[in-house]
């Protein structure tokens, strides 16, 4: 039987799910649905990576055991997968793999044993005991990596611990090493298969890395240093290196080293897998993982495909500190799952970095979905309801009406449009197979445009006025409806919900999930069949309203930074009294109420905000404070706020501050913000209840 196995990385159980996680799951889910649609027995894995020092640390910080920490994060992941329709119940993943599963321990121990017995291609032992050397902090009781210590000022001095500010000790501990250096040639020959590591640019990077020479890899730590992990078989004083353990999940999940799992899923049945990974973890997947498998005599993966990173709309890395992350609960609240899935696949050219912003998402959803596919679907079906008594009309223009039809400019030869769509289908499937999702979707939208044009040119509303043109009208609407049927089948893996809805509105039974797009034949839509109730599939999003809701609901920067390992995603921001308490420390003298009354504080709403050229810190805003004209205000907050995120937001303005010129612009007031931390980070004051612009604060 034809089978297929696709995996996402398994995510660290020390931080809550974010857009990066959601993205890879959406890609894997779309691939899996496309395979299932073609009748291929498909297995889709996602899950969590639950061992290692970082999870131990997160657990300690949150007063949990490491397993409790993992369970806690997993509960957020499963909530996310359910809310975004990616879990088994919604036709998504087949397993949520957890490396704390006992069967995983068994499987990973089996792989270790095989590697331990293996000889390298150069005839050496693949695994050997040596010494791991590193900088150790006694008070922390752990080794420190380069980004965890302060480099010494004087050469020869030891580095110091960033936490304790004490010198680190150079310590060497016993460790198992994997003889990676003996696998250079074997790996290089594996990379000769051009589709093994993709895309091409990444493959070249991996090849040069390996050609540059490989160092043997430390694959265990003493239990006294890292205890949260899989014990080394027959030597429990050692804990396996977390990447050895984590990578192996891809085979233990389907039955490697465990009878029960083997029976339930089947290693031989599904292996090898296509691994989807972010480019930041490509080396682990494309160098270490194949080398471990080569040593153990296990077949190499089908492919390792690296995707790019999501950046903010200005091309900057997303980070909590910059406050430019995309929050999953905001996505979930304001956008349909299908719009998010479509945006993810359409906007990121697979393999390259992409830019993700709420505004961009709204624009795409409105142009491509509401005005594009959604409009095509509703105009076609509404006309079928109105002009054809809600039944799929006949595609045939009788001989005696052909001349008449031709006079309207309608192409009487149905095979023209059928040929166009067939060609587009083939291109779509080819791009999809090559994981060029953005191009595949572009191709599908060329069909939307073509059919839209056919309708607009034929003017069915005019044809309907002439009884003699009834067959022409029917033929045009049939072609539109049949094209729509093809589009729903093609697009089903990307937008399962919306395509299912269009399918039912077309009056089709079953689901496009079970129609093989490669077997679509023009004309399978039965004329005479009743269509379903016509309903909008992609309602238009009101951009100003939605942006203002998103911005108003935006969490203060310090709240989103809170304890990524422990805080629930919806945890309310810490109470504002934090700021006033801190400020109170600095109070030296008191003012009279009249002094305060001199300050004219008003409620304002940001109408526009943009960066000031050549001024990194300044934003130029137009703010409505209830006067005839909006105020122009400059604020030194550009390093902390995305201008577009401020639009629609309610703010507090000092309205009677003497105007002054900054960088050639007059600033007619001041935005009130709290300021904290050494760098004086601003947090703009706002309101949690509705309040009209211009209202005074007193």
Look up residue 559 and give its two tokens. Answer: 């709240």
By C-beta, is 10 or 127 nearer to ligand MSP? 10
Nearest approach in angstroms of CB 325 to ligand MSP is 8
Calpha distance 85→339 (Å, rounded): 13
Look up residue 224 and give its two tokens. Answer: 């006294």
Nearest approach in angstroms of CB 598 to ligand MSP is 48
Nearest approach in angstroms of CB 285 to ligand MSP is 7
Kindly state whether residue 11 participates in binding ligand MSP, applying the rule CB under 6 A. yes
Burial of residue 359 (CB within 10 Å: 0-12, 13-18, 19+) is middle
By C-beta, is 228 or 445 nearer to ligand MSP? 228
> x-or-dash pattern for ligand MSP, window 245-274, by CB under 6 A?
-xx---------------------------
Measured CA distances, 686 to 27, 59, 322, 323, 590 (Å): 38, 35, 19, 16, 25
Kindly state whether residue 21 participates in binding ligand MSP, applying the rule CB under 6 A. yes
Nearest approach in angstroms of CB 589 to ligand MSP is 48
By C-beta, is 9 or 85 nearer to ligand MSP? 9
Burial of residue 590 (CB within 10 Å: 0-12, 13-18, 19+) is exposed
- Among residues 4, 5, 6, 9, the one that binds ligand MSP under rule CB under 6 A: 9
Q: How many residues bind ligand MSP (CB under 6 A)?
A: 18
Nearest approach in angstroms of CB 286 to ligand MSP is 12
Let me know how many helices (H) and strands (E) the chain has, helices first: 27, 27
- Among residues 4, 5, 23, 105, the one that binds ligand MSP under rule CB under 6 A: 23
Calpha distance 188→185 (Å, rounded): 5
Site residues (CB under 6 A) for ligand MSP, limited to 461-480: none
Calpha distance 520→533 (Å, rounded): 24
> b vs e for 652-684, b when ≥16 Cβ sit within 10 Å of the residue's Cβ?
bbebeeeeeeeeeeebbbbbbbbebeeeebbbb
Reference 342, options 532, 487, 544; nearest CA is 487
Nearest approach in angstroms of CB 11 to ligand MSP is 4
Site residues (CB under 6 A) for ligand MSP, limited to 36-95: 49
By C-beta, is 201 or 518 nearer to ligand MSP? 201
Calpha distance 35→622 (Å, rounded): 51
Binding part of the chain for ligand MSP, among 17-25, 81-89, 90-98, 432-440 by CB under 6 A, reads 17-25
Calpha distance 225→671 (Å, rounded): 51
- Among residues 5, 6, 16, 24, the one that binds ligand MSP under rule CB under 6 A: 24
By C-beta, is 11 or 183 nearer to ligand MSP? 11
Binding part of the chain for ligand MSP, among 6-14, 86-94, 487-495, 515-523 by CB under 6 A, reads 6-14
By C-beta, is 288 or 428 nearer to ligand MSP? 288
Calpha distance 648→554 (Å, rounded): 12
Nearest approach in angstroms of CB 47 to ligand MSP is 9
Calpha distance 21→325 (Å, rounded): 13
Site residues (CB under 6 A) for ligand MSP, limited to 276-295: 277-278, 280-281
Contact indicator for 176, 220 with CB cutoff of 8 Å: yes
Phi (first) and psi of residue 627, to 5 degrees: -95, 175
Nearest approach in angstroms of CB 445 to ligand MSP is 24
Handedness of CA 565, 568, 573, 575 (dihedral sign): negative
By C-beta, is 311 or 464 nearer to ligand MSP? 311
- Among residues 12, 105, 136, 445, the one that binds ligand MSP under rule CB under 6 A: 12
Binding part of the chain for ligand MSP, among 21-29, 149-157, 364-372, 534-542 by CB under 6 A, reads 21-29
Residue 59 exposure: Cα atoms within 13 Å on the Cβ side: 19
> x-or-dash pattern for ligand MSP, window 575-594, by CB under 6 A?
--------------------
Q: Where are the alpha helices (DSSP H) in 38-65?
A: 53-61
Nearest approach in angstroms of CB 482 to ligand MSP is 38
By C-beta, is 295 or 673 nearer to ligand MSP? 295
> x-or-dash pattern for ligand MSP, window 295-334, by CB under 6 A?
--------------xx-------x----------------
Reference 557, options 241, 204, 321, 284; nearest CA is 321
Contact indicator for 12, 54 with CB cutoff of 8 Å: yes
Kindly state whether residue 199 participates in binding ligand MSP, applying the rule CB under 6 A. no
Binding part of the chain for ligand MSP, among 9-17, 56-64, 449-457, 644-652 by CB under 6 A, reads 9-17
By C-beta, is 308 or 471 nearer to ligand MSP? 308
Reference 609, options 648, 639, 664, 640; nearest CA is 648
Handedness of CA 198, 200, 203, 205 (dihedral sign): negative
Q: Which residues are catalytic?
A: 18, 21, 137, 140, 161, 164, 317, 320
Please give the residue whose beta carbon sits closest to ligand MSP in the complex: 278
Nearest approach in angstroms of CB 21 to ligand MSP is 6
Binding part of the chain for ligand MSP, among 18-26, 485-493, 521-529, 675-683 by CB under 6 A, reads 18-26
Reference 320, options 651, 668, 653, 16; nearest CA is 16
Nearest approach in angstroms of CB 246 to ligand MSP is 4
Other beta carbons less than 10 A from residue 623's beta carbon: 28
Phi (first) and psi of residue 276, to 5 degrees: -100, 125
Binding part of the chain for ligand MSP, among 8-16, 125-133, 615-623, 676-684 by CB under 6 A, reads 8-16
- E strands, 526-648, are 601-612, 615-624, 631-635
Binding part of the chain for ligand MSP, among 10-18, 108-116, 196-204, 681-689 by CB under 6 A, reads 10-18
By C-beta, is 307 or 631 nearer to ligand MSP? 307
Q: Which helix (H) or strand (E) holds 643?
A: helix 643-646
* Sites of contact with ligand MSP (CB under 6 A): 9-12, 20-21, 23-24, 49, 246-247, 277-278, 280-281, 309-310, 318
């Amino acid at each position: 039987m034809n089978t297929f196995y696709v995996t996402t990385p398994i995510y660290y159980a020390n931080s809550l799910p974010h857009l990066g996680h959601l993205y890879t799951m959406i890609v894997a889910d779309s691939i899996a649905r496309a395979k299932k649609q073609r009748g291929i027995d498909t297995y889709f894995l996602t899950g969590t990576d639950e061992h290692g020092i970082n999870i131990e640390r997160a657990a300690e910080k949150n007063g949990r055991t490491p397993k409790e920490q993992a369970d806690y994060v997993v509960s957020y992941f499963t909530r996310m997968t359910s809310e975004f329709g990616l879990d088994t119940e919604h036709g998504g993943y087949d397993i949520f793999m957890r490396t704390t599963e006992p069967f995983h321990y068994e499987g990973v121990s089996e792989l270790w044993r095989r590697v331990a017995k293996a000889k390298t291609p150069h005839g050496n032992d693949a695994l050997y005991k040596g010494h791991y050397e590193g900088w150790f902090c006694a008070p922390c009781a752990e080794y420190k990596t380069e980004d965890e210590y302060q480099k010494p000022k004087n050469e020869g001095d030891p580095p110091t611990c960033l936490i304790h500010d004490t010198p680190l000790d150079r310590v060497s501990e016993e460790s198992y090493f994997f003889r990676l250096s003996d696998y250079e040639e074997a790996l290089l020959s594996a990379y000769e298969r051009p589709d093994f590591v993709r895309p091409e640019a990444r493959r070249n990077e991996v090849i040069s890395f390996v050609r540059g020479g490989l160092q043997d890899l430390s694959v265990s730590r003493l239990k006294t240093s890292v205890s949260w992990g899989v014990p080394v078989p027959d030597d429990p004083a050692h804990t396996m290196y977390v990447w050895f353990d984590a990578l192996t999940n891809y085979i233990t999940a389907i039955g490697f080293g465990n009878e029960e799992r083997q029976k339930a899923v089947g290693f031989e049945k599904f292996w090898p897998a296509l691994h989807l990974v972010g480019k930041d973890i490509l080396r682990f997947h494309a160098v270490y993982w194949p080398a471990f498998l080569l040593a153990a005599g296990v077949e190499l993966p089908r492919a390792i495909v690296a995707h790019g990173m999501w950046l903010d709309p200005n091309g900057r890395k997303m980070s909590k500190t910059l406050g430019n992350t995309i929050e999953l609960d905001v996505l979930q609240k304001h956008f349909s799952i299908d719009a998010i899935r479509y945006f993810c696949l359409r906007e990121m050219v697979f393999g390259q970095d992409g830019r993700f912003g709420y505004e961009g998402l709204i624009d795409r959803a409105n142009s491509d979905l509401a005005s594009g596919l959604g409009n095509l679907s509703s105009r076609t079906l509404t006309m079928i309801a109105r002009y054809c008594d809600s039944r799929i009309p006949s595609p045939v223009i009788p001989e005696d009406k052909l001349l008449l039809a031709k006079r309207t400019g309608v192409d009487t030869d149905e095979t023209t449009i059928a040929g166009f769509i067939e060609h587009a289908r083939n291109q779509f499937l080819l791009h999809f197979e090559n994981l060029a999702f953005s191009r595949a979707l572009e191709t599908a939208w060329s069909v939307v445009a073509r059919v839209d044009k056919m309708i607009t040119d034929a003017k069915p509303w005019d044809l309907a006025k002439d009884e003699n043109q009834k067959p022409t009208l029917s033929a045009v609407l049939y072609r539109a409806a049949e094209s729509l049927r093809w589009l729903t089948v093609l697009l089903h893996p990307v937008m399962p919900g919306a395509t299912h809805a269009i399918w039912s509105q077309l009056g089709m039974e079953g689901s496009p999930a079970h129609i093989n797009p490669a077997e679509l034949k023009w004309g399978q839509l039965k004329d005479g069949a009743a269509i379903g109730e016509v309903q909008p599939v992609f309602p238009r999003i009101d951009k100003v309203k939605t942006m203002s809701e998103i911005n108003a609901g935006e969490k203060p920067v310090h709240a989103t930074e809170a304890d990524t390992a422990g805080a629930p995603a919806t945890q309310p921001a810490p109470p504002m009294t934090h700021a006033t308490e801190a400020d109170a420390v600095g109070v030296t003298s008191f003012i009279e109420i009249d002094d305060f009354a001199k300050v004219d504080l008003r409620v304002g709403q940001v109408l526009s905000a943009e960066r000031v050229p050549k001024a990194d810190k300044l934003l130029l805003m137009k703010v409505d404070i209830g006067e005839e004209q909006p105020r122009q205000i400059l604020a030194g907050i550009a390093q902390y706020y995305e201008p577009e995120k401020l639009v629609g937001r309610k703010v507090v303005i000092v309205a009677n501050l003497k105007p002054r010129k900054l960088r050639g612009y007059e600033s007619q007031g001041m935005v009130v913000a709290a300021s904290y931390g050494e760098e004086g980070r601003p947090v703009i004051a706002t309101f949690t209840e509705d309040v009209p612009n211009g209202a005074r604060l007193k």
